[in-house]
Amino acid sequence: MANEHDLILRAVERALPFGKLERLEMHPQSGTPGRRWDATGRLAFGESLSIDVCFEEGSFQSMAALSRAVQQIKAFGTASDCIPLLVAPYLSPQKQQLLRDEKVCYLDTAGNAWVEAGGVFIDRCSGKQKEVIPSLTQDPFSDKASLVIRLLFSGNTLGIRPISAALSEQGFALSPGYVSKVVASLGELRYTVKTGSGVRLVNRELLLQDWSHAYQQKARRRHSRGWYLPEADPAQLARLVGRALEGNGALTDRSGASFIDSHASFDTVDILPSNRDATSEVLEKLGAEPAARGANINVREAAYPLSSLYGSRSVDGVPVVSDLQLYLDLRCQPQRGEEAAEHLYERRIRPLLEEGERL
């Protein structure tokens, strides 16, 4: 109760420095029938302008949790005389955009705010996180934990031990205890449900958004090594290099996507190696030379060394990472990469979500 009160006060102070919060009243009957808002109050802007507001507060750590809050706010708001205002410790740009798209006003303690109601228009973006958000039992978007998501993403329903066993059969040692922690964290984020036969993923579209955001943070720190091999046609180069890898990696980014989607274009061949030294030997045997500039082959440092090659397949004799890994990597590339990611999503991933087919 006190924490909710303090959160609202800090958010107003930092995001609305020219506003004054009056008549704040907390509503502790959260979760009981008839409960609608965490708090109500009035925001005054000078002597002549004020709006009555109703607060919905929380950490909203996942896109799924935020989406659910938006649905509740819209349901409550139709029967309220006050203006709904979502309050959080921190809202990422991605989450802020979701709220703007849904026309839901918000504040956070980092100083971000968007209020467009009752004659008030406020649009502030500070970009910095100032609050410590409680951590999950296990980061479900870490390298090792993502194996659970990859296994279940196609719509499988499995128990904890069968998940552990299925991954073990593929060479990944995840104990039942570890899997249980990952599943619990996914549940906290509203991405799993339990059934009589095990657990399955839900809200997979939103999960993929959160996962992609987390992956991009890790991928920013990775490096790549450039190589040059004389070959005028990028498509021919991709086939030549890909077929020579023989278990030492797989193609990703737009060069990998080109084997899945004929509309994908690329200038460089991008490789996720299973072993960088072994991949370097393959390229040297082909006659490629290291190149600081003008490279037409990039050997990427994997953001997820353990799981990036999970689900890789051979397409026309060329190893290509899974559709999920392609999507994650493409989203890290500006402009054309993001366009290719969206095209891949519409053609390959969305049908999976709608029909439950396997990647």
**58 near 7, Cβ under 8 Å?**
no
E-strand stretches of 78-183:
83-88, 105-108, 113-117, 120-124
Q: Which residue has the tokens 């799924």?
A: 64
Q: Where are the alpha helices (DSSP H) in 102-221?
A: 146-152, 160-169, 176-188, 204-219
- The domain ranges of the chain are 2-124, 146-202, 220-355
pLDDT (0 to 100) of residue 240: 96
pLDDT (0 to 100) of residue 33: 45
**319 near 249, Cβ under 8 Å?**
yes
Fold of 220-355: Beta Polymerase; domain 2 (3.30.460)
- What the block records as the tokens of 242 is 């890909």
pLDDT (0 to 100) of residue 359: 44
Fold of 146-202: Arc Repressor Mutant, subunit A (1.10.10)
pLDDT means over runs of 10, the chain (359 residues): 78 89 78 66 88 90 88 74 91 92 93 90 79 67 95 93 95 94 91 91 92 87 89 91 94 94 87 94 95 93 94 96 96 84 92 66
Name 18's Cβ contacts closer than 8 Å, sequence gap at least 6: 45
The structure's pTM equals 0.76
pLDDT (0 to 100) of residue 146: 96
Name 244's Cβ contacts closer than 8 Å, sequence gap at least 6: 282, 285, 286
